[in-house]
Amino acid sequence: MTSIIGYIENFIASREDQRVSGWLFVSSFWPTINIILIYLTSIYIVLPIFMKNREPYKLNTILKFYNIFQIITCAFIVYWCLTSGWIQGDFTIGCQAVDYSSSPRALSLLQGFQWAYFLKITELLETVFFVLRKKNKQVTKLHVYHHSSTLIMNYFICRFVGGGMASVTVIINSLVHILMYTYYYLASLGPAWQKPLEKWKPRLTIVQMIQFTLLLLHSLTLLQNCGGPRSFLLVYIPNMIFIYKMFYDFYKKNYTCSKLSVALSQILS
């Protein structure tokens, strides 16, 4: 296992963005691997043993503050990215080369990506909260894979394509998460909010699947000579397709075709 990770690390090092050398957590693949291993060990072994003879924790106040934190931080990351090239007119939606220079604006955008990576680490707490509240049915393969793979993808973005068109991915993902955590926050306010919010469950999932589709199509522009490593797509595209398929299967199982059609027509109307 160590030799495999070492090979991957050497492969990555030969293609990495040298600007992240020495940066916390993103200058090596090991911190990300260790974080995910700790995450998986905690939610599948340590915490279930800890909670075996305990009543579920409510965590109402913690969840409210957690959701507010996510909303504010996602908005901050969107603002950071927009003010690191978009507002100034440096970027376009399509093929956009990565600026690997150490100019203040290029480094600012790369630092924004690093903060997005840090935020993905905090999102792993969602699963911890599920286990502490004994909401084990919500600790699905989809949920765990999505959080783990998203952290890995954000690491790769920081280390390989820290700029240019990758900012579209970070901005869109952050905007979608603002919607999601706003929903979670309102739902945490109690039954008076939860019932009216029920109709938003399929809509939020449709938004997620639309996001995956847009990001997948957008990533294909990297097949052109966009000034970034196209080998990144060998990981990114299969992962995006797999996540989309998992989301689609989940909602096909949990929502009837009629409900999904109604939700889709409402969100597009």
Question: Which DSSP symbol is given to 86?
Answer: I
Positive or negative CA dihedral for 70, 74, 76, 80? positive
Q: How many helices (H) and strands (E) does the chain have?
A: 12, 0
Which residues, in sequence order, are CB contacts of 226 under 8 Å at separation 6+?
95, 96, 97, 98, 164, 165
Given this model, what pLDDT does residue 252 score? 86
Catalytic residue among 146, 147, 177, 218: 146
Is the four-CA dihedral 71, 75, 78, 84 of positive or negative sign?
A: negative
Compute the distance between CA of residue 20 and CA of residue 152 in angstroms, rounded to an integer.
16
Residues with Cβ within 8 Å of residue 167, at least 6 apart in sequence: 81, 84, 85, 86, 91, 109, 112, 113
pLDDT of residue 269: 47
Q: Could you list the mean pLDDT of each consecutive 10-residue stretch along the chain, which spans 269 residues?
A: 62 73 89 97 97 94 96 96 84 80 91 96 97 94 95 92 88 96 92 83 90 90 73 87 92 69 53
Q: What pLDDT sits at residue 178?
A: 97
Amino acid at 100: Y
Ordered by start, the domain boundaries in the chain are 27-197
Question: Percent of the chain beyond pLDDT 90?
Answer: 55
What lies within 8 Å, CB to CB, of 29 at 6+ separation is 5, 8, 9, 12, 155
So what's the pLDDT on residue 14? 60
Return the DSSP state at 229: -
224/76 Cα distance (integer angstroms):
31
What's the pLDDT score for residue 18?
83
Asked if 203 contacts 211 with a C-beta cutoff of 8 angstroms, the reply is no
Active site residue 146: yes
Q: Kindly report, residue by residue over 1-56, the tens digit of the pLDDT.
A: 566 666 666 666 666 788 988 899 998 889 999 999 999 999 999 999 999 999 99
